[in-house]
């Protein structure tokens, strides 16, 4: 496919193209791709700053950072040059699609298309239907996702959608445990031992603390007094104030020495002293997995998710929920609904209301229902 890569400056656009070149160069070195094939693919990526270059595109994917004003500006400048029936997809990770579509003159062609980082490795694309997104917009988007060999799930619009919303709960839980005095290294090791691809502090560094704080600020601006921030937001704000913004910035929860292996920042212990008595590793694993599974159920109850299948596929392919579990809903089935409810009640009493169980889940447990027969 011919791709126009538009950015605010030519230098930024070329930097984006260079990322692809570096990726394909590895394939050439591993003899998975020839130099000729690489050259042909790179010729199909045109770096530009001119919106007029987008006029013949069949599909637009906007991926600027989480700022409503900038996204609105980009949407309007793009719609001024593209055809009436072209699909405009926003690769936002948290901002509701219906709200972003307000800046569009054709909201029926506006849809959410949420990719995961690193895009070249992650198999999932989360499609988000805004209030006015049409079936045609979804169908064309799914055709495109099939062509690039990704796996889609389709969810309804809400803040954070399914993946970003539920993924963030285990990072929040890890931050809460650190505040309680649990050793960050124990939390990281417990997550890896449970089957997560990386620990919650490493993943926050990867996605950047900078982005998390920007999302928090934008949500606060959008929702005002209705906004209930995640319980450990002060941890992110503290890191932000200290200028420890994540891996891309050279420092976050981890230190990234040049030419050496990363290691957890020793300064964390000065801010959040480690208690002498540490919890059992199984409890740490159970807390992180349970808080995600519980919030996934809330997504199903709120019709953000329309089926447990999408929740299971999304959780494993989107953020690496331990694959042995079968996904968030299969995990609840595996633990047993009543046992899961009892565990959440215990955690609610000990750790806070984020573990509060919805009445409908209690009812399911009482009736001995499962998500899968």
User: Cα dist. 361→313, 327, 369 in Å?
Assistant: 21, 17, 9
To the query of whether residue 114 is one of the catalytic residues in this protein, the response is yes
The secondary structure of 57-68 as a DSSP string is: -SEEEE---S-H
Two tokens, residue 272: 């959040």
The answer to whether the beta carbons of residues 214 and 67 sit under 8 Å apart is yes
In sequence order, what are the beta bridge partners of 127? 113, 154
When computed from its CA atoms, the radius of gyration of the chain, rounded to whole angstroms, is 22
Two tokens, residue 98: 């219906």
Strands 110-115 and 87-90: parallel
Two tokens, residue 187: 């939390």
The answer to whether the beta carbons of residues 210 and 338 sit under 8 Å apart is no
Helix ranges restricted to H, 30-183: 35-43, 68-79, 97-100, 135-147, 163-180
Burial class (CB in 10 A: 0-12, 13-18, 19+), 255: middle
Contacts 24+ apart (CB under 8 A), 38-42: 42/17
Active site residues: 114
């Amino acid at each position: 496919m011919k791709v126009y890569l538009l950015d605010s400056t030519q230098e930024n656009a070329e930097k984006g193209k260079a990322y692809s070149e570096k990726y394909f160069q590895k394939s050439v070195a591993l003899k998975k791709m020839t130099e000729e094939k690489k050259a042909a693919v790179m010729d199909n990526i045109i770096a530009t700053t001119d919106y007029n270059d987008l006029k013949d595109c069949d599909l637009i994917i906007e991926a600027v950072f989480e700022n409503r004003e900038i996204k609105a500006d980009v949407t309007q400048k793009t719609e001024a040059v593209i055809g009436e029936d072209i699909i405009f997809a926003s690769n936002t990770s948290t901002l509701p699609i219906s709200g972003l579509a307000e800046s569009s003159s054709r909201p029926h062609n506006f849809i959410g298309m949420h990719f995961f980082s690193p895009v070249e490795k992650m198999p999932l694309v989360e499609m988000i239907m805004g209030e006015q997104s049409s079936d045609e917009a979804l169908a064309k988007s799914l055709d495109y996702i099939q062509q690039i060999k990704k796996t889609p799930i389709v969810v309804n619009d809400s803040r954070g959608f399914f993946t970003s919303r539920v993924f963030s709960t285990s990072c929040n839980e890890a931050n809460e445990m650190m505040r309680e005095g649990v050793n960050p290294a124990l939390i990281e090791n417990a997550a890896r031992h449970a089957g997560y691809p990386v620990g919650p502090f490493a993943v926050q560094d990867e996605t950047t603390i900078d982005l998390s704080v920007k999302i928090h600020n934008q949500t606060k601006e959008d929702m005002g007094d209705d906004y209930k921030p995640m319980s450990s937001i002060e941890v992110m704000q503290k890191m932000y104030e200290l200028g420890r913004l994540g891996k891309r910035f050279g420092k976050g929860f981890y230190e990234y020495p040049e030419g050496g292996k990363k290691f957890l920042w020793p300064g964390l212990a000065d801010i959040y002293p480690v208690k002498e008595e540490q919890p059992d590793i199984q409890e740490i694993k159970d807390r992180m997995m349970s808080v995600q599974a519980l919030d996934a159920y809330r997504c199903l109850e709120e019709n953000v998710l329309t089926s447990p299948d999408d929740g299971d596929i999304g959780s494993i392919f989107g953020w690496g929920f331990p694959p042995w579990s079968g996904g968030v809903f299969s995990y609840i089935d595996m633990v047993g609904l009543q046992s899961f409810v009892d565990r959440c009640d215990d955690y609610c009493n000990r750790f806070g209301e984020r573990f509060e169980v919805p009445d409908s889940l209690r009812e399911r447990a009482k009736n001995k229902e499962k998500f899968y027969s």
